[in-house]
Structures are given as structure tokens and as C-alpha cells.
Amino acid sequence: MRRYVLLLVAAAVPLTEASSKCKPEDYKWPSDFFYGCGTSAYQIEGAWNGGGRGTSIWDTISHNTTVVVGGDTGDVADDHYHRFEEDVDFFAEELGVETYSFSISWPRILPNGRGPVNEPGVQFYVKLLQALKKRNVTPICKLFHWDLPQALQTEYGGWTSKRVIADFDHYASIVLDRLGSMCDMWITLNEPSMICSKVLEYTLGREPKEEKLLCGHHALLAHAAAVKTFRAKGFKNKKISLINDGPFQLPLDATSAVDRNAARKAMEYSIGWFAAPIWLGDYPEVMRRELGDLLPAFTAQELNDLKGSADFLAFDAYTSQWASALLDPDSCSVTRTESPAWPSCVNSTQTRIDQRTGDTVPIGIPTQSDWNYLVPSGFRVGLRFLNDMYSPPAIVISENGMGVIGEARKDLRDALRDTARINWYQETLRELRSAIHDDNIPVVGFLAWSCLDNFEWEMGYGVRFGIAHVNYDTQKRTAKDSAFFLRSTFTRKETGLFIET
Ligand SMILES: *[C@@H]1O[C@H](CO)[C@@H](O)[C@H](O)[C@H]1NC(C)=O
Ligand SMILES: *[C@@H]1O[C@H](CO)[C@@H](O)[C@H](O)[C@H]1NC(C)=O
């Protein structure tokens, strides 16, 4: 293994007022802080028609050769379905993770979305959880990471119909009966704002408009129903939540009150959309006021079920955007749903033109994904927003990561030297450390996305997010340098940052 040296914090960062309060040795990860990595079923499992699995909307999307770059599919992906035992050994031994977050494939458990249970599907997850236990890796179990059974999409339009609420609750109940005792941390839905925008777009074949709000409403109610079911089963010491996401928003001009308001409003419309009903008891006030009847209303009982329906706040934190007012305010409104800025009607951008030089300036360091720039200051601002707005007892960073530019074309040796990814994590963890120590934000765990290179949705295999390289011809896994960096950063329980000697 390569060697890393501890960079003293004082040498690594300029002494700001905040950091001077602490001596370097005071910066430790909290003693129960956990480090891990995450995956999702469709992105790694493969065996798309094996073991009695039904089809999911992602089989349909990827088999439509016009959608995914290069015509890539998840038919085989990382072949994790057949290799999970070696993978768990690899996660424990090579990546050194303490926690592993994965998702359960709904159509593997219920091939038609409801009806008969597919026993081999259940057994796959039982064996996976047994393997994790044997290696002392703590599981985080996600009930849904975008792979809706196609049968439910065909029958009633999936998340746009309220019928999905009862079906999701039923699926959750079956999984919890069979696997509930084996996993202490549960997630209902991963990134509902993406389920109701990008994923819905691929299933509809066009950009969703009003359906977005309906989809979000049903996602929230499905979450609340599943949490009620979870709590009724009387588990002891088990926790449940929903994973929120959304780019953090920074005012384009920090001195402008208009831009500061735009940033706040954009976060209400993306993050607050799902966080406010759960933590505060209804949609954000600004959404209610501006969207009026377009935003479905909750009954008193539904509000009651939603409020407090999370034991911790889980957030997939990637990047930030600049927020400002639209240059043409009339281009977007409640009734102008065709605007790309609908429904928030905020101009969110990741580039701006420098007035003096005419150059295009990006918000941060670019990565292989056009939406994902490294913006360390935005990460800290975002954590403060989550903490100030929702006061959660604990926050888990449930995903964070990037694809190195050109990595998919590199040979193995070059792909393993992922210094841009190390830089990404170094900068991000520096802000995380300050958020914990200087801002007193209760972040309790950090999960790198992803444990393995995998099927990156509409980008196929053209973007590699793994801290481990996957050779898709041989299915060989190899830890990248970033995996060693993360491992040494977290296992030494110090937040001083490490670099390779
Ligand atoms: C494939 O996707 C395109 C673009 O979303 C869509 O227009 C087309 O209808 C899809 N084809 C099928 C067979 O679903
Ligand atoms: C959004 O803001 C950017 C940066 O100022 C600007 O270049 C762009 O024209 C704006 N777009 C709209 C639709 O207002």
C-alpha cells in the first residue's frame, strides 16, 4: 500500500478566524463517526432477467437505444448479483469501509410490483446481509433507488398515480418482514426530486411539467406510509429516513439581496420540497404561496404522518449552483410551465460571463459530469442551510463523489492514479471538518459515491464514479488511490488531511 503523511491542519489551510479557535489535534472525527460507500441495485447488480427478477423502468429506458449514451445498459453492469460475496470481501479488505449503503430492487422482490414474492430475490439480499455481517460492515438498506417495476409504470403511470402509495407500502412491508431484523438503518426513497424530474422525464419521453408536483406528492405519501409501517413493526434501535438531494445554491452576487433571496428560494423548491413536509410539517411556505392550486394539499392526517417521519437527515451532497433572478421575469410563472426554470422561476447556473474579460467562468472545478463542479464553499453553506432550516438530530452525507475527466478512456494504471478525485475529497472533507467543529453541525457519517465504477444512468459507462476501478471485460475490481486516501483519512480518526508521499 502507498504511504500517506499527515498534513498538519495549520499548514494545510490558511488560518482563518474559525480554524484558529482549534489546535490541529482538536480536529478529530467524532468517535462514532462512520465512513462508507454506496451503490444502487440497477447500477451494479446486472442479472436483469435472472433469478426471477421482473423488469424495471430502467430496463425499458436503457433498452431504448436512443436514451443512454453509447446504448449502454445495466443488463450486466458490475455483475454484482453473481459476485456479491467477493465484493463484500473487497469492500471490507481493500476499501476498508465500515458502512455499506445499497438498494433493494423492487422487481427482484415483487416482479410485477405486487403479487407473488420472488423467493430467490429475497434470498439474494439475505445472503448479502449475512456476508456484510460476517465482515463487520454495517449496512444501510435503501428500499428504492429509481428502479420501479415496469408493470406499475405500464398499469397506472408509476409515481404520477396515487396508486403507487399503497403498492410501495406493501413492498416495504414485505421487505421489512423478511430483512428488517438484519439492517439497522433504512431509507425509503433515494432522491425523490430526481425521481420526479430526470427519471420521470425518461419514462414519459418528455420533460414533466405539472406531473412533477403530483409525483413528489405521491413520493412523500409513500414515504410516510412506509415509515408508519416500519414503526408499527416495533423494531428496537432501528432508524429510517428518506434521502434528500439538490444542488446547493449560492447567490450569483453575494452583495445582492435579490440574488440571496433567489438562492434561498431555489433551495426551498428543491431541498425544501421534500425536507419541509418531513421536518417542519408542510411544503415550504413560498411554494404554497406561489404555486397555489398546482401544489397538491395534504389532509390533516397526512401532515401528521409526514411530520417527524425521519430519524435523521440523509443528503446526497454533490455540487452548487449560482442563483439569480431571470433576465426576463415574464418567461416563467405558475402558468408558464414550459420555462426551464419552472417551478421555482429562479435562474440557476454553473457558469457566468466575466464582464471585463468576456471569459466564461465556472462555479468550481469541472468534472466529467456537466452538472457536477467541485464547490467546497457551497458544501459548507449547504450544510448550514440544512442545519438551520430543519434542525435534524443527525445528518448523514449519503452520497458524495465525482467522475474524473477522461477516466473512462484511461488504461488501468492511469485510472488508479485519480488525483483529481483525491483533491475533490480533500477539499470537501476540509469543509466537512469545519462544519462539524466550527459550525457544530451534527454530521455523523460520510458515504463516498461510489464503491465501484458502475452504470451512471443516462451517461452509461462513460462516467466512472468509483473509488474502485471495474474492468467491464473481466469484472476485476481494483481500489483507486482515492480509496486509500479516504481509508487513511477516516481510519486514523483524525481529520487532519493526508497526501501521498
Ligand atoms: C425512446 O426514447 C425516445 C426519447 O425519449 C422516445 O421518444 C421514444 O418514444 C422511445 N421509444 C420507445 C419504444 O419507447
Ligand atoms: C442566468 O444567469 C446567467 C449568469 O448571469 C446569464 O448568463 C443567463 O443569461 C441567465 N439566464 C436567464 C434565462 O435569465
Higher pLDDT pick, 19 / 180: 180
CB 501 within 8 A of CB 4: yes
Provide φ and ψ at 179, rounded to 5°: -120, -10
Instruction: Look at ligand 1, atom 11, and give the residue with the nearest C-alpha.
Output: 64
Q: Whose CA is nearest to atom 9 of ligand 1?
A: 205
Give Cα separations from 280 to 72, 85, 225, 288 (angstroms). Answer: 41, 42, 18, 14
pLDDT digits (tens, 9 = 90+) for 108-139: 999 999 999 999 999 999 999 999 999 999 99
Ligand nearest to the CA of 206: 1
CA dist., res. 84 & res. 91, Å (int): 10
Question: Ligand 1: does its nearest atom lie under 6 Å from the Cβ of 205?
Answer: yes
Contact (CB, 8 A) for 273 and 283 = yes
The percent helix, strand, coil of the chain (3-state, each to 5) is 45, 15, 40
> Quick check: bond before 450 cis, omega within 30?
yes
Decide: 481 and 422 in contact? Cβ < 8 Å.
Answer: yes
Ligand 2 centroid – CA 346 distance (Å) = 10
Please say whether the beta carbons of 479 and 94 come within 8 A.
Answer: yes
Give the list of residues 6+ apart from residue 115 with CB closer than 8 angstroms, or none. none
What pLDDT score was predicted for residue 194?
98
pLDDT beyond 90 at 8: no
- Indicate if ligand 2 lies below 6 Å from the C-beta of 347: yes
What is the CB neighbour count within 10 angstroms for residue 359?
10
Residues 31-46, mean pLDDT to the nearest whole number: 97
**Ligand 1 touching residue 16 (CB < 6 A):** no
Model pLDDT, residue 497: 57
The contacts of residue 171 (CB under 8 Å, 6+ apart) are 106, 109, 110, 113, 114, 143
For ligand 1, atom 10, which residue shows the shortest CA distance?
Answer: 64
Q: What pLDDT digit, counting tens, does each position of 408-449 carry?
A: 999 999 999 999 999 999 999 999 999 999 999 999 999 999
Pairing outcome for strands 497-500 and 4-7: antiparallel
Q: How far is the CA of 44 from the centre of ligand 1 (A)?
A: 24
* Residue to substitute in 60, 61, 63, 64 for testing ligand 1 pocket (most ligand atoms within 8 angstroms of CB): 64
252/361 Cα distance (integer angstroms)? 12
* Ligand 2 geometric centre to CA of 324 (Å): 8
Mutate to test the pocket of ligand 1, among 58, 62, 66 (most ligand atoms within 8 A of CB): 66
Q: Is the dihedral of CA 466, 66, 150, 155 positive or negative?
A: positive
Model confidence over 99-112: pLDDT tens digits? 999 999 999 999 99
* Distance of CA 275 from the midpoint of ligand 2 (Å): 28
Please give the Cα distance from 344 to 338 (Å, whole number). 12
Nearest to 74 by CA among 44, 101, 112, 50: 44
Nearest CA to ligand 2 atom 4: 352
Question: What span, in angstroms and rounded, lies between the C-alpha atoms of 216 and 211?
Answer: 8
From 347, 354, 360, 361, mutation site for ligand 2 pocket: most ligand atoms within 8 A of C-beta: 347
Nearest to 153 by CA among 191, 210, 207, 203: 203
**Whether residue 295 has pLDDT greater than 80:** yes
From atom 1 of ligand 2, which residue's Cα is the shortest distance away? Answer: 347
Q: Which residue has the cell 396508486?
A: 163
- CA 180 and chain centroid, separation: 22
pLDDT in tens, 235-267: 999 999 999 999 999 999 999 999 999 999 999
- Tell me what the pLDDT averaged over the chain comes to: 93
Atom of ligand 1 nearest to the CA of 60: 14
Residue 421 near residue 369, CB atoms below 8 Å: no
**Length of the chain measured in residues:** 501
CB 97 within 8 A of CB 36: yes
Q: Which ligand is nearest to the CA of 266?
A: 2
Question: CB 430: neighbour CB atoms within 10 A?
Answer: 20
Query: What values do phi and psi take at 374, rounded to 5?
Result: -80, 115
ω into residue 343 within 30 of 0, thus cis?
yes
Nearest CA to ligand 1 atom 3: 205
Instruction: Output the pLDDT for position 17.
Output: 42
Separation of CA 347 and ligand 2 centre (Å) = 6
pLDDT confidence band for 28 (50 / 70 / 90): confident
Average pLDDT over residues 201-207: 94
Q: Looking at the predicted structure, is the pLDDT value of residue 450 above 50?
A: yes
In the prediction, which pLDDT does 1 show? Answer: 38
- Which stretch of 10-24, 182-196, 255-269, 340-354 has the lowest confidence by average pLDDT? 10-24
Q: What is the mean pLDDT of residues 167-181?
A: 98
pLDDT, position 251: 98
pLDDT at position 31, please?
Answer: 87
Region 323-340: what's the mean pLDDT? 94
pLDDT at 491: 82
Could you report the per-residue pLDDT of 74-102, keeping only the tens digit for each?
999 999 999 999 999 999 999 999 999 99
End-to-end CA distance of the chain: 12
The residues near 152 (Cβ < 8 Å, ≥ 6 apart) are 113, 114, 158, 163, 164, 167
User: In angstroms, rounded to a whole number, what is the distance separating the alpha carbons of residues 373 and 307?
Assistant: 33
At residue 180, the pLDDT reads 98
Q: Tell me the pLDDT tens digit for each residue of 378-392.
A: 999 999 999 999 999
Are the C-beta atoms of 188 and 226 separated by less than 8 Å?
yes
- Tell me if 67 CB under 6 Å of ligand 2: no
pLDDT number for residue 496: 56
If you measure from the C-alpha of residue 326 to the centroid of ligand 2, how many angstroms do you get, rounded to a whole number?
6
Instruction: Please identify every residue annotated as catalytic.
Output: 191, 399
Neighbours of 218 (CB within 10 A): 23
pLDDT recorded at residue 4:
41
Residue owning the nearest CA to atom 3 of ligand 2: 352
Secondary structure of 168-199 as H, E, C letters: HHHHHHHHHHHHHHHCCEEEEEECHHHHHHHH
CA of 269 to the centre of ligand 2 (A): 19
Residue 15 has pLDDT above 60, yes or no: no
CB-neighbour burial class of residue 313 (10 A; exposed 0-12, middle 13-18, buried 19+): buried
Instruction: Report how far residue 123's alpha carbon sits from residue 128's, in angstroms, rounded to the nearest whole number.
Output: 8
Separation CA 186–CA 42 (nearest Å): 18
Atom of ligand 2 nearest to the CA of 327: 14
